[in-house]
Structure 1
Amino acid sequence: MDPIFIISLACLGVVVGFAAGLLGIGGGMLLVPFLTMLFPMFGVPSDLVVHAAIATSMATIVFTSVSSVRAHHAKQAILWNIVWVMGPGLVIGGLLSGGAVFSYLNGVWLSVIFSVFVAYSGFRMLSAKKPPVGRAMPGTAATAGVGVGIGFASGLLGAGGGFLSVPFMARSNVPLHNAVATSAALGFFIAVANSLGYIYSGFSEVQGQEGMLGYIYWPALVVVSAMSVLTAPYGARCAHSLPVASLKRVFACLLFGLAAYMLFKAYQGYTGTL
């Protein structure tokens, strides 16, 4: 690979891993737009760029989440009872999304969907609304059903689900540091299911394309994962000491910028000016 490409991916991995551990977001919200910028410069076909960025982003979360979970588990912050209830639903939703629906949506629609959810995540991060006192997690069936929805939506975005699972748990009065830690564990289920789906659904679409494993661009997966696994534990530790609320406000502004960029890419794709 081109040295500039490797360095760019390594820097992305450092930032994404730290953000994943700190905020429990899986890193996809950052990774997808930047991979969309980088991939066309290094030979990924234009009609596969958005699919490859989303799929590669999700695949990195398999490794990042393991690293984050170890750090959060050491702090005894993960609510495993929630993980085991939501896990099966996350897998079902992920397989449906990555293995079926994903390949039928073109890059324009995926970019628009990504923009909407990233902007939504930014607004959620800026929201200071407190949940009603006494609200608790819903029953087992409802929580499992929410897991299906989160797994499905995450598969269309290349994100680890924290943008939905953290607000969901916070609305049920789960303490923020527990919600972030639990989200990291949920991200593993989401990432594995969707990654398998991307490999299956993209196998026939990318035959002959060098470096592609289904929709996953494996050279980028290796570099980004290697760096993010190193930095995710530091982010997880900092989640228990840094002013995360202040950092979220800064991160929300970045998300708005990335949402605007992906919307612009969708416009370019729609008008044929990519």
Structure 2
Amino acid sequence: MPPITELMMFALALAAAGVVAGVLAGLFGIGGGAILVPVFYQVFGLLGVDDAVRMHLSVGTSLAIIVPTSVRSFLSHYRRGVVDIDLLRNWLVAVPLGAILATVIAAYVSSETLRLIFAVIALAIAFRMIFNRASWRIGADLPNNPVKWLVGVAIGVLSGLMGVGGGVLNNTFMTLYSRPIHQAVATSSGVGVLISIPGLFGYVWAGWGEAGLPPLSTGFINWIAVGLIIPITLLVAPVGVALAHAMGRRQLEAGFGIFMTLIAFRFFYSLYG
């Protein structure tokens, strides 16, 4: 067990990550998992968590934290009247189904595979963040079913495997089909709810009885980390919502894209370095 001073530093690092994750939840309509998963991966490693379960635990714990963060972010956006409720209704089955499929996949793949999936999707997200242009459009409105429904399943699967709320993926989908960015951000907070709740229960099931999990873990959810970070993210998520409706996003998107690039290469290095 590391000395108490090191544990305090880890706790402070988690708390700082919680602040950033909460603001991002409101600002980008994401659950903050893109920040939390790599931080958890590092902290759980320093605490001696078995490599075989470390990435799974990071992803599952991130999704558990996203539940209240996404709910609060969604309610804040909903009160502003900019959420696309029709799209969320259309995805009431599709997105949760994708999230559940992700937990089934996670139950049978290795930590290395899960890290590779995170790194590849993170690079794709980074490309979109850094090079995104308002002129990038595929159509004048969202596609009809079954395409739209299948996109919901895909967002659920990819987000569930990464431990994220699906905000960046849904923002990309909606803006490519000419929806306003503020509507995309607001709707993404609802997508986060549809992903995180089934994802939480799925990762409990996927990790049930696994060896090497740290104390106070239920499956691939560590409740110490959840209890530490949730109050912070709930407190600061409305700050991100206010920022999303009050400022330009280009520099923040580019900065987030650079961060995701660094995280992706960190995971690639852990696999092939």
Q: Report the TM-score, using the length of structure 1 for normalisation.
A: 0.92
Query: What is the 5 A alignment of 1:180-195?
Result: 180-195=185-200
Query: What's 2:73 paired with?
Result: 68
Letter in 2 for 1:215: F
What are structure 1's unaligned runs of at least 5 residues?
A: 269-274
| In 1, Cα distance between equivalents of 2:26 and 2:152 | 21
State how far apart, in whole Å, the 2-side matches of 1:32 and 1:246 are.
23
CA–CA distance in structure 2, aligned partners of residues 206 and 63 of structure 1: 28
8 Å CA contact retained: 2:49, 2:213: no
Matched, 1:37 2:16: no
Question: For this pair of structures, how many residues does the alignment match?
Answer: 267
Corresponding residue to 1:91 among 85, 93, 96: 96
The 5 Å alignment of 1:127-142 reads 127-128=132-133, 130-132=135-137, 135-142=140-147
Q: Report the equivalent of 2:30.
A: 25
Once the two structures are superposed, residues 164-194 of structure 1 have per-residue CA deviations (whole angstroms, 9 ceiling, x without a partner) of 1110011111100100110011110100111
How high is the TM-score relative to the length of structure 2?
0.92
Q: Report how far residue 147 of structure 1 moved.
A: 0.8
Work out which of the residue numbers 244, 247, 250 in structure 2 matches 1:245: 250
Indicate the RMSD between aligned Cα atoms, in angstroms: 1.7
Match in the other structure for 2:122 = 118
Given that residues 108 and 267 in structure 1 are in contact (C-alpha distance below 8 angstroms), is that contact kept between their aligned partners in structure 2?
no
Do the aligned residues in 1 keep the contact of 2:57 with 2:221 (CA within 8 Å)? Answer: yes
Contact 2:214/2:222 (CA < 8 Å) preserved in 1?
no
Q: How far off its partner does 1:149 sit?
A: 1.1
3-state SS in 1 of match to 2:41: helix
- Residue deviations 1:145-170 (CA, integer Å, cap 9, x gap): 21111111111110111121110011
CA offsets 1:37-66 (integer angstroms, 9 cap, x no match): 111222422221111111111111101101
8 A contact 1:23–1:239 mirrored in 2: yes
2:167 is aligned to 162
Moved more, 26-35 or 175-184: 26-35
Contact persistence 2:53–2:111 (CA under 8 A): yes
The correspondence for 1:147, drawn from 145, 152, 155, is 152
Distance in 2 between residues matched to 1:133 and 1:219, nearest whole Å: 44
Judged with a 3 Å threshold, the aligned counterparts in structure 2 of structure 1 residues 175 and 27 are, in CA distance, closer, same or farther, namely same
Shift of 1:225: 1.3
Could you tell me which residue of structure 1 aligns to residue 113 of structure 2?
A: 109
Checking the alignment, whether the CA contact within 8 Å between 2:99 and 2:156 is kept in structure 1 is yes
Identity among equivalent pairs (%): 32
> 2:116 is matched by which residue type in structure 1?
V
Q: Could you list the runs of 5+ residues in structure 2 that have no partner in the other structure? A: none
Q: What SS does structure 1 have at the residue aligned with 2:102? A: helix
